[in-house]
Amino acid sequence: MKNLCLVLDTRYTNDSGSSVVKLRISKDKKMAYISTDVKLKKEQWNTESGMVVNHPRARAVNLFLSERLAEVEELLMVHHEKFLSMTASEIVKAIKEIQKPKPVVVEKPTDLFVPYFEGFVARKDKKRTIDLYNATLKKIKNF
């Protein structure tokens, strides 16, 4: 059976005394962690509730952490059969692979920039400004 929770990993702290909040997956008494990239001081974390306290943006950070927790819980449910025979560290590797962002394929960098820049120029009023921007756009297209 897999168990999932948020923990403040105080085993490692930076110079300012902050530690990373991690998602802990435990299975068969073995644990593995997924970093959330949220860094907090020990006094900003409630261990019992697994929530951020005494932080200026506690509400926003708690929302972010609960969304990450829900994402991983959903992946655990969807891929339940696949994860049955895996260890905790193998499950973490599989989840990281599933969550890896897919690369965006763009033919040329100008495919995204040119339409945006043309719209930007269209919103201008002064003729000289429009002429300068159009000359710049021509150089970009020729590049």
> Tens digit of pLDDT for each residue in 123-138?
999 999 999 999 999 9
The DSSP letter of residue 41 is E
Q: Is the pLDDT of residue 1 over 50?
A: no
Dig out the tokens for 141 from the structure.
């297209």
Span 103-132, mean pLDDT? 81
Mean per-residue pLDDT over the chain, rounded: 87
Rounded to whole angstroms, how far apart are CA atoms 8 and 44?
10
Q: Is the pLDDT of residue 108 over 70?
A: no
Rounded to whole angstroms, how far apart are CA atoms 122 and 62?
42
The DSSP letter of residue 102 is P
pLDDT band per the 50, 70, 90 thresholds, residue 103: confident
